[in-house]
Amino acid sequence: MPNGWKGEPVKRPHLTRRFWLRLQSAALVLMLCIAAGLLAWASTVWHIDSDWTWSQSNSLTPASRKALARLDQPITLAAFVQDSGRLSSYEHHLLNRYKRADSRIRTRFVNPDTALAEIRKLGITVPGEMRVTYGNRAANLKTISESGITNALLRLARGKATQVVFVTGHGEANPDGKRNYDLGRFAKVLVQQGFKVSTQDLATHPRLAPDTAFVVIAGAQGSYRQREAKTLEGWIASGGNLLWLHDPGGLNGLAGLAQALGVKPLGGIVVDTDASRFGLDNATWAVLSHYGKSPVTQHFQQNTLFPEATGFNLIPGAPWRAHGFLKTPRLPKSWLMTGTTSPTTITYRPGVDTPGPITLGFTLTRPRPGGHGQQRAAVVGDSSFLSNQFLGNGGNLSLGLNLFNWLGGEDRYLDITPPQAPDRTLTLNGFEQGAIGIGFLFVLPIILLLVAVLMWWHRRRH
């Protein structure tokens, strides 16, 4: 190159197309990040709930929706909780379920840090506590859940608690007890729904309070004294309501009560040959799927379990209008077994056993003395179906609540079952557990190893 030759000036390279593409990609990523941040911020300010699940697991249970449909007064749910935190999010989510289920429901969220006067006035004591208002009645709720809110509304709608007296002193099932044959679980549900449950020994306190809605005899094992039996017979004669849960065996001094009710308990145990279809290996545990015409079971469509039950017949000429609402199928599916026999060789014995159908329960009605209202009574040949051990089987709880609401004159609450927590447990048998264990320990690692070998072999060839 000659000395002094200056050649062409060096030109700066223009921005290439690749550079612009990279710039656009970076700008797009930046805008997406900004949009995501704005959406995250908006989610903390506005709450929109919807339920697209097939099982409606993000909505109120059918039991709660049915309960709300029976309530006709204004409802307000006020949550005293701080604006942020897991508790606040949970209560927002829960109360929005109620608003979606019924547009009449009003909800309020009150910051307890800035509403000290209102907290003192309403007696709010714990963070997250809720004030449930129905009409002109209100109650505070510390344990927040769907079942708690719905049961609180039912209690408030009932107004004055329905007084129920359980007779004690003769080996009856205890409404406060925790043993398998006691009724503690059922009594707890009754209290949650607005019943006032108490016990009374007629031997020491023979007079029943006039505000008693009805009396319950829950599987007496011992004999009643004549004075106690006369107290119950007088209660019936004066127009009082009564529920008699009678287990197989003797009448235990209550023959006069049976006569007053116009029923005759049968001496035997019901046999149900269909029990095995429901996974039961005891033929003396009757499973009912169909029911007689009665307000208690008018719309009832659940299976119920009655362990070692007996039946009743009606006494001709009794002044009651009777409806058999619990009936077993016809022979050969069911019969009443009399006497004793081996549980492994239960067979129908013509001339000894009574062929089905057997009526396990009657509802009884008649005008009250003086014509003021309707007197109600019910007899069921089993007390165990409401016991702690068997309450959770099928529709036993629902049937028991129907009976108690009907006897208490609360017909509008029939067929309303308290909402239960969804089943979040998974039960596996031995084969299923073994299959899952082998799958994770051997099958899955082998599959991953094969995939890795195939990828290595493919890369090596190319």
Residue-wise pLDDT for 217-265, tens only, equals 999 999 999 999 999 999 999 999 999 999 999 999 999 999 999 999 9
pLDDT tens, residue by residue, 11-62: 555 557 777 777 777 888 888 888 888 877 776 666 555 555 544 556 788 8
Tokens for 294, please give them: 């009665």
CATH 3.40.50 fits 160-413, yes or no: yes
Q: Which residue, among 158, 157, 152, has the nearest Cα to 98 in the 3D structure? A: 152
Q: Label residue 196 exposed, middle or buried (CB < 10 Å: 0-12, 13-18, 19+).
A: middle
- Give 184's pLDDT tier (boundaries 50, 70, 90): very high
pLDDT value of position 307: 95
Where do you find CATH 3.40.30.10 in the chain?
A: 62-154
CATH no. of 62-154:
3.40.30.10
Rounded Cα gap, residues 330 and 16, in angstroms: 91
Strands (E), 207-246: 214-218, 241-245
Whole-prediction pTM: 0.75
* DSSP states of 47-107: -------TT-TTS--HHHHHHHHT--S-EEEEEE--SSSHHHHHHHHHHHHHHHH-TT-EE
Higher pLDDT, 207 or 30: 207
**Greater pLDDT, 277 or 377:** 377
Residues of the chain with CATH 3.40.50: 160-413
- What share of the chain has pLDDT > 90, as a percent? 51
Bond prior to 357 in cis (omega within 30° of 0): yes
Using omega within 30 degrees of 0 as the cis cutoff, is the peptide bond preceding 332 cis? Answer: yes
Mean pLDDT of the chain: 86
Lowest-confidence range among 159-163, 206-210, 434-438?
434-438
Query: Is the pLDDT assigned to residue 336 strictly greater than 80?
Result: yes
* Residue 408: alpha-carbon gap to chain centroid: 20
Amino acid found at 383: S
Mean pLDDT is highest, among 41-55, 131-145, 232-246, 369-383, for 232-246
- For β-strands 75-80 and 269-272, DSSP reports them as unpaired
* Helix%, strand%, coil% for the chain, nearest 5: 35, 20, 45
Q: How far is CA 93 from CA 48, 66, 258, in A?
A: 9, 20, 53
Q: Quick one: pLDDT at residue 323?
A: 96
